[in-house]
Amino acid sequence: MDGFGSDFSSGAAGSGKMDPGTIMEQVKVQIAVANAQELLQRMTDKCFKKCVGKPGGSLDNSEQKCIAMCMDRYMDAWNTASRAYNSRLQRRERDLTTQLSAALPVPPENRRKRLWSKVYQARATWQ
């Protein structure tokens, strides 16, 4: 397989133009690879600190076991942090939406219906 994202001619078929599907695929792959690299770098740092004492001639059994456990716990911690951050962002979005809708006046029923029918008409022309 080519280096990730290094060969941009693969989807061109000679026209010099890539289709959006291929572009998006390559973008997602590059981002995923960068994410995995970041995770591994930080995980290695933490688990080396926690598991390896005075460096010897090789990693002994207890150090190996500790590193394996540490990897699992680090990924658990990553998932926990991800959920916590996501919840926080959703809460902020909820609060902002509440504040916004409290600040905006609600149009009377008949005007609302006219506005919505305009939306539906516009949407029909997009097809």
Partner 1 sequence: MSDFNDFSSASASEKAEASELQRMIAVEQQKAQFQAQVHNFTDVCWEKCVDKPSSKLDSRTEGCLVSCVERFIDTTLTITNRFTQMVQKGAH
Closest distance between partner 1 and the C-beta of residue 104, in Å?
25
Please, where are the H alpha helices in the chain? 20-51, 61-103, 109-125
| Contact call for residue 27 and partner 1 (CB under 8 A) | yes
Helix (H) or strand (E) holding 40: helix 20-51
* Piece in contact with partner 1 (CB under 8 A), picked from 53-61, 69-77, 96-104, 109-117: 69-77
Of 33 and 115, the one with the shorter C-beta distance to partner 1 is 33
55 lines the binding site for partner 1 (CB under 8 A) = no
- The answer to whether 48 touches 64, Cβ cutoff 8 Å, is no
- The reply on whether position 52 binds partner 1 by CB under 8 A is no
Among 9, 10, 35, 90, binds partner 1 (CB under 8 A): 35
Considering only CA atoms, which of 8, 51, 59 is closest in space to residue 29? 8
